[in-house]
Structure 1
Amino acid sequence: MTLSLILALVWVVLANVLAMLPSRDNHWTRAYALIAVGVPLLGYVTLQNGPWVGLLVLAAGASMLRWPLIYLGRWMRRQWFVSSQE
């Protein structure tokens, strides 16, 4: 197993532990930190192991951070509909 995959597994375990701890802001600051660490890690996994493994790690990360992605999709849809109505 490559170093990048080991680091990705550590990221997954860390994300699960952080999700179990109570938070006053509904875990948003932790999500931002996980995204900031996860994006370069995803690039490293893809570089070392190829695009298919990178897509699997992306899917795993997206399943962990689904609410930020849902809110991003809603925001993008609002932006698109507002600009298309003008």
Structure 2
Amino acid sequence: MEDKILIRKKRVLVVGAGGFTGGFIVEEGLRRGYEVWAGVRETTSRRWLSDERIRFLNLDFSRPESLSATLSTALPAGEKWDYIVYN
């Protein structure tokens, strides 16, 4: 019986993904084949973040307890992002 090795895509969370530079970072992550998470505010325009592969996290920086809960439940237990870009 062959052992199968599962290789998952690298994950990147881009905080501030709705800004000019953040949008380019998101695009580059997608180009590299990463699983890309866009950390944005509820009111952030997603006009330039229209690729269906982008996963969104609504981050509320005015409520630290909400921010912590959002980040800790975004991925399955024990899993993590490979990179976090705070833009």
Question: What TM-score do you get using the length of structure 1 for normalisation?
Answer: 0.31
Question: What TM-score do you get using the length of structure 2 for normalisation?
Answer: 0.31
**Structure holding more strand per residue:** 2
Q: Which has the higher contact order (CA 8 A, sep 6+)?
A: 2
Could you say which structure has the larger radius of gyration? 1
**Structure holding more helix per residue:** 1
